[in-house]
Amino acid sequence: MAEFFLELFSEEIPARMQAGGAAQLEGICAQILNPLQFKMGALYYGPRRIALKAELATEVAASAVSERGPRISAPEQAIAGFLRKHAAAKDDLTQEGEFWVLNKQSPSQPAADFILAALPEALAKLPWPKSMRWGSGGDFTWVRPLRSIICLLDGVVVPITVGPVTAGDTTYGHRVHGPGPFGVSSAITWEERLREHCVIADPVERRRLVADGMAEKAAALGLSVAPDEGLLDEVTGLVEHPVPLIGRIDDDFMSLPPEVRELSMKINQKYFALRDANGLPAPHFAFMANLAAEDLGKAIIAGNERVLRARLADARHFWDLDLKTPLNELLPKLEKITFHAKLGTQRQRADRIADLAQLITLQLAADGMAVPEGGNPSNVAYWAGRLCKADLVTGMVGEFPELQGVMGGYYAAHIPHPQSSVIGQAIKTHYQPKGPSDDVPEGIISIAVALADKLDTLREFFRINEKPTGSGDPYALRRCALGIIRIILENGLRLPLKQLLGGDEHGLFDFIIERLRVKLRGEGKRFDILDAVLAAGSDDDLVRLMKRVDALSAMLGTDDGKNLLAAYKRAANILRIENAKDGPHDGDVDEVLLNMPEYRPDLELSHAILMAAGPDGRIKHAFQTEDFGGVIIGLAILRPYIDAFFEKVTVNAPEPELRRNRLRLLARFVGAVQHVADFSKIEG
């Protein structure tokens, strides 16, 4: 095997495109160079280059192709396409009957020749989210101007040409600390010489240096860096020679909400927020320079502090301006903002959320959930719902849309309401959870408003038939449904979901259940058990539903559960076959036959079914008290009796009345099990 090394060097590649571009490069090489037994080694990406190292065979092995092609009467385009697929000429075809047949012998081909012929065209089409043309490159496009290419096979240049650039063995280091070209002969010398020229090529190492460098600088001041994995990835893509620096935030700006300050730092300047020993915001920020300055970065720090000062002054302006108008006085402005052409304005939306939040609060309070002291909780929920979208018309949210909800939470503290702090917290968290790592809202008012917002979104978009499709979910309704599920389950809320959804005529409940299946699958849990429980009877109380699922899952993990499942499937299969002959066999069991001594297994199974699933049986009582562990115990009672029944009797007895009686007994057993769950939907 030979070492293959490829580097594509360009002007600065946007950080968000680097990893994807490198992955596309790997995919192209793996596909095109597959005949050379491509074996991936390492992948590199950074601000000005993407590269890979791999192993290849030294030649494409000789091969013979014999394949039937198009019919003799096929159009010329079809024949030409077949020939292109196999890189063959028409002279390679022979006629056999009504078809063309390709019989082609391909001799071995040196790896360098194969690369030279096959790779350039594919590389030129490497897909970037955005590309550009420049200079005299004609129609060739690349993410940024392509400046040089290295293409080496065991240290020897393979002179591929991509756009206006032909490959060699030369690359470039850091613009300031390592300017000028230098040659390389292998992947390892490339990485070593880049390091000498102040470029860290390995993105994993560069990311570690960024994180560790900032952490060390912060620790020297008794501070720590606020975690932000996304920003860390982005900054890693902005620097080749990471140099950590710490700047200071003017004390005047520390009175701004931390979300405002830190979002401005992150979005506009790519700065990291710092925390003090108590985990509180510190008046400092960390950032990365891409060079080591002679003055140890003093001028760079001063420049960045000056820029941040201007940014935060703008934020301060919006904050002070917004505080002049109480949040409740902004409601008329919502009437001028269209939420959706078919769903009205943001004001109408807020009114719907308010009504629904009030209803949810009443239901949760009636179920015993704690309410805030002072004031009517349903009235508090109503006002929180009504005001939850008001910050959309504030200057701060206009500047930073990511802060919607958050700013409303702060501004609500200034409204004339005795429960303004509770209202503010509900507004602040009503978009949560936005993702799997987000916490869900807590407290009756916050829960009610967050649920109302999501339920209204689902109800209204389903009502106008704007449902997610396989190719898109423009209104994030799947995320919305998952948020509803998490809020309900993680807070243990006993709510009639179908009623809150306004019925299920639009398939809303089924949509939420499908999201619950996806959630269970993502957690490595069995969603077939959920389907089995749902099939036993409609239940829109998600907490109760999951208690049933968990209890049944635990049972099916035991030998008793597995054996009962096997017995159920055997019984159901027998009934299916016999019912097709002369069924259904669902009448009353003949008690006279059961009392005959020779039919003792029949009698014992009948008594067990009555004890477990009869009118006064254990299963019914356990269901009434929501003792689902007891339901499963009641079901498990049947296991030894059904085992003995199958072991000791012949279901299809020669005596017609005995056969009929035993089939009816099996039908009772299947019915008892299906009262708990439809075991036919359980895998295994």
pLDDT of residue 376 exceeding 80: yes
185 three-state secondary structure: coil
On whether both 152 and 286 belong to a single domain, the answer is no
Furthest-apart CA atoms within the chain: distance in Å:
104
Backbone dihedral angles phi then psi of residue 36, each to the nearest 5 degrees? -100, 20
Omega of the bond leading into 159 within 30 degrees of 0 (cis): no
Q: Are residues 384 and 276 in the same domain?
A: no
Do the Cβ atoms of 285 and 271 come closer than 8 Å? yes
pLDDT band at 374 (very low <50, low <70, confident <90, very high): confident
Query: Could you tell me if residue 185 is inside a domain?
Result: yes
pLDDT of residue 370: 87
Same domain, 184 and 222: no
For 300-338, write each residue's pLDDT tens digit.
999 999 999 999 999 999 999 999 999 999 999 999 999
Range of the domain at 299: 203-323
Of 344, 418, 432, residue with least CA distance to 388: 432
Quick one: pLDDT at residue 462?
Answer: 94
pLDDT value at 580 more than 80: yes
Region 352-368: what's the mean pLDDT?
Answer: 95
Residues 223 and 293 placed together within one structural domain of the fold: yes
The residue-averaged pLDDT of 388-416 equals 95
Q: Are residues 559 and 675 in the same domain?
A: yes
Residue 337 lies in a domain: yes
Query: Is 505 within the bounds of a domain?
Result: no
Find the range with the poorest average confidence among 25-39, 234-248, 535-549. Answer: 535-549
459: pLDDT strictly greater than 70: yes
Same domain, 73 and 147: no
| Residues paired with 44 in a beta bridge | 51
Mean pLDDT, range 475-501, rounded to an integer: 95
Calculate mean pLDDT across residues 645-651: 89
* d(C-alpha 243, C-alpha 293), whole Å: 9
- Token couple for 461: 């978009």
Is residue 29 domain-shared with residue 147, that is, in the same domain?
yes
Amino acid found at 479: R
Q: In this structure, what DSSP letter does residue 109 have?
A: E
Domain-ending residue, one of 45, 75, 106: 106
Q: Among 146, 168, 196, where does a domain finish?
A: 196
Task: Tell me the pairing of strands 59-60 and 109-110.
Answer: antiparallel
- 578-600 mean pLDDT: 83
35 vs 591: which has the higher pLDDT: 35
Count CA atoms within 13 Å of residue 238 on its CB side.
Answer: 16
94 shares its domain with 136:
no
Q: Do residues 371 and 419 both lie within one domain? A: yes
The pLDDT tens digits of the residues spanning 481-492 come to 999 999 999 999
289 has pLDDT over 70: yes
d(CA 408, CA 397): 9
Residue 137 is predicted with a pLDDT of 61
Residue 534 counted as domain residue:
no
CATH of residue 658's domain is 1.10.730
Please check whether residue 532 lies inside any domain of the structure.
no
Task: Flag whether 284 is in a domain.
Answer: yes
Residue 339 CA to residue 331 CA, distance in Å, equals 14
The residue out of 181, 196, 211 marking a domain boundary is 196
pLDDT digits over 80-94, tens only? 888 887 778 888 888
How many domains does the chain contain in total? Answer: 5
- Rounded Cα gap, residues 375 and 8, in angstroms: 66
Residue 338 maps to a domain:
yes
Q: Are residues 336 and 290 in the same domain?
A: no
Tell me the mean pLDDT in the region 396-424. Answer: 94
The pTM of this model reads 0.82
Look at 153 and 525; give whichever has higher pLDDT: 153
Say whether pLDDT at 516 is over 70. Answer: yes
pLDDT value of residue 592 = 80
pLDDT value for 506: 79
Q: DSSP string covering 293-317, please? A: -TTTTHHHHHHHHHHHHHHHHHHHH
On whether both 411 and 308 belong to a single domain, the answer is: no
In a domain, 275, yes or no: yes
Residues 135 and 186 in one domain: yes
Mean pLDDT of the chain: 93
